[in-house]
Amino acid sequence: MTTYQKHCDFVTEPMGEKPVGCLAGIGDVLSKKLEDMGFHKAYMVLGQFLVMKKDECLFREWLQDTCGANARQSQDCFDCLREWCDTFL
Amino acid sequence: MTNYISTKLRTFLGEPMGEKCVAFVDGVDKDLAIRLMSFGFDKAYVLLGQYLLMHKKEDDFQMWLMLRCGATQQEAQKISICLREWCSTFI
């Protein structure tokens, strides 16, 4: 599945109990690292995004520090959550 | 959850929270809102973020509200219920 498809799939419906790996930018490796840190569900990463007041720099830096996401991955994840919030929050 | 739903709760649950101030969350009165804002929880969605970070565990969240933010038990319960119900509809 492409990142674009993953993004579209995520932002077009409520996230419910989707696993963290459903987020655009979060593949198998990052997913495992996030789960090891306690972030099993996409809504938990959303929680982090929200307490950081949806700040792009803060969130992307957190993602990079927490699970080693690169610039592309953190951008994809940020864009995914931002668009989801624009629609559902 | 009791059968009675306050107007504040019904209003909050009826739509996305968007950029609503934290004071719109059911259970948050003026004094608590000021304290929450002083801690950085100025918007309802920021408080929602804390709830989600605590894995939506209501007991833990209520305890945090009481110990960290000075909420009463009743306030903490109302806030927790409000966010739980909002999540069940919109998340």
> What are the extents of the domains in chain B?
18-90
Please state the ipTM of this predicted complex: 0.96
Residues 6+ apart with CB under 8 A from A83: A7, A11
CA A32 to chain CA mean position, Å: 13
Would the pLDDT of B26 be above 90? yes
For domain B18-90, the question of CATH label 1.10.530.10 is answered with: no
Bridge partners, residue B21, by sequence: B43
Which homologous superfamily is A3-88 in? Barrier-to-autointegration factor, BAF (1.10.150.40)
- Parse chain A into domains and list their residue ranges: 3-88
Tens-place pLDDT, residues A66-79: 999 999 999 999 99
Q: Which residues of chain A have pLDDT under 50?
A: none
pTM for this prediction: 0.96
CA neighbor of B27 nearest in space, from B49, B46, B5: B5
The three-class DSSP label of residue B7 is helix
Residue A88 contacts B, CB cutoff 8 Å: yes
Mean pLDDT of B38-65: 98
CA distance A20 to chain B (A): 13
* Cβ distance of B90 and A46 shorter than 8 Å: no
The three-class DSSP label of residue A19 is strand
